[in-house]
Structure 1
Amino acid sequence: MFDRRLLIKSIYMFIAVLLLMISLGNIQIYAENKVNEIDIMTTPEKLLFNINNLKPGDWAKRTVIITNSGKEDYKYITSAKLKNGSEKLYNELLLIITDSDGEIFNNKLGEFKKLDPRILISGQEEELIFTIKFPSELGNDFQGLSSEVEFKYYVEGTLGGTLPVDGPKLPETGTNAYNILLTGTILLVVGGVLLLINRLRKMRRIG
């Protein structure tokens, strides 16, 4: 005969599994939101030097403010590359970088790869000053040359080591384990319901 108690127990079990799936979904959303707490912002977004018409002894200065707009402390690094123009001039220009404590780099621009990681506390900012100098000893063979140089800023420790400031996709940290567990739970529930229906049909026939 038809067993109502068995059906009620099965319904309770189904509701419990649904609550478990909702809980797992909340865990995954929390993990993904936590990644978004890493936020580096610069003013300007990219520090560009369009160097032209400089004469021996001339110099150009730019100031950039790096801000930690997120909720997590992190270390960031600064790198530079030649975007366009003369590599010859790029390799001979002098670069001076200073912070509130003084010089942190003073050498040829072509020798600059990146700054050591610098810690930036959540909600704080720091100012770096970049000065490009045209060495006075360079000869006439550098006249008419120009270079476009880009400085970029990265958060250390994400995307395999760095997180660019100019808008990458953040990595997904809601791990696949949650998705696999959720899928398996759904399959388990569906299988259990089908098994219950089949058993009730058999009981009806016997009754």
Structure 2
Amino acid sequence: MNKLFRFIPLLLLISGICIFPVASVFAEDDNDTKKKDIDITLSPKDTLFNISNMKPGDWAPRTITVKNSGSKDFTYQMESRNNGDTKLFNELLMEIKADDKELYSGKLAEFKSVGARKLVSGSEENLDITIRFPAHLGNEFQGLEAAFTLNFTAESKNSAPVKTATKGQIDSGGPKSNGFSLPATSTSIFNLLLIGIVLVSGGIVMMIIGHYRRIKSSA
């Protein structure tokens, strides 16, 4: 009997070694499968707009997916914040749509919020966001940059708000990038083309008249 008691500590040690890894696996699985109450995720996450050499009249459409990855339903809102100079930022236009429904259309600088939008747990929705460079902006806007953040906040009852964000960077090109000069306005481009057409047409008419006069004088 005394010999049997001597083996009890050894048996307990072996049992502990065998059971501990199994318990650890179950604990890890439990941690992996447990969701946060409020968890909002974006795709793409870090940067939505990264545009170089944007010119008057250009536009850039993007789609961002907002997903409720948590265990609770929530409502979320989107806001914008300027992170750089204001000159170009104040002129850029932004349009936001969800399922072809317009949520906002106006200046990026004047955007406040899309209003509270509900997402049930495990669901997602796409927001179609377009940034436009107004066609009337002139040479004073070349070589400028606009940097901004689109902030998302998810909220639910009895839970602290959760925030996430994606960034935007707009470069208007010009002397900073490749030395080209922007036309003053898109209307100026049309006017230049119109003047060119008139000059070419006038030249053709003068050639025809000159040729007709030579034929008449030789007759």
Q: Into which bin does the TM-score normalised by the smaller protein fall?
A: 0.5 to 0.7
- Opposite residue 80 of structure 2, the aligned amino acid is A
Specify the alignment match of 2:75 in structure 1. 75
Contact kept? 2:93, 2:133, Cα under 8 Å = yes
Runs of 4+ in 1 over 2 A off after TM superposition: 46-52, 156-162
Contact kept? 1:117, 1:156, Cα under 8 Å = no
Q: Does residue 45 in structure 1 map to residue 45 in structure 2?
A: yes
Distance 1:143 1:72, change over 3 A: same
Distance 1:152 1:67, change over 3 A: same
Specify the alignment match of 2:144 in structure 1. 145
Q: Distance in 2 between matches of 1:150 and 1:161?
A: 22
Q: Distance in 2 between matches of 1:151 and 1:83?
A: 10
Aligned 1:30-179 pairs, distance under 5 A? 36-84=36-84, 86-157=85-156, 162-165=161-164
Q: Distance in 2 between matches of 1:90 and 1:46?
A: 19
- Opposite residue 135 of structure 1, the aligned amino acid is P
Contact kept? 2:91, 2:107, Cα under 8 Å = yes
Distance 1:52 1:159, change over 3 A: farther
- Opposite residue 101 of structure 2, the aligned amino acid is G
Superposed displacement of residue 158, structure 1 = 7.7
CA shift digits 1:138-185 (9 cap, x unpaired): 12111111112221211125899732126xxxxxxxxxxxxxxxxxxx
- Opposite residue 145 of structure 1, the aligned amino acid is L
- Opposite residue 109 of structure 2, the aligned amino acid is G
Equivalent residue of 2:88, what SS? helix
Larger of the two Rg values belongs to structure? 2
Q: C-alpha root-mean-square deviation of aligned residues, in Å?
A: 2.4
Q: Distance in 2 between matches of 1:133 and 1:72?
A: 36
Contact kept? 2:89, 2:109, Cα under 8 Å = yes
% identical equivalent positions:
42
Distance 1:36 1:103, change over 3 A: same
- Opposite residue 123 of structure 1, the aligned amino acid is G
Gaps of 5+ in 2: 1-33, 166-219
Equivalent residue of 1:91, what SS? coil
TM-score, normalised with respect to structure 1: 0.58
Contact kept? 1:65, 1:126, Cα under 8 Å = yes
Indicate the structure whose relative CO is greater, using CA pairs within 8 Å and at least 6 residues apart.
Answer: 1
Equivalent residue of 2:89, what SS? helix
TM-score, normalised with respect to structure 2: 0.55
Bigger Cα displacement from structure 2, 148-157 vs 72-81:
148-157
Equivalent residue of 2:140, what SS? helix
Q: Distance in 1 between matches of 2:94 and 2:148?
A: 11
Equivalent residue of 1:141, what SS? helix
Distance 1:56 1:138, change over 3 A: same
Superposed displacement of residue 50, structure 1 = 3.2
Contact kept? 2:73, 2:156, Cα under 8 Å = no
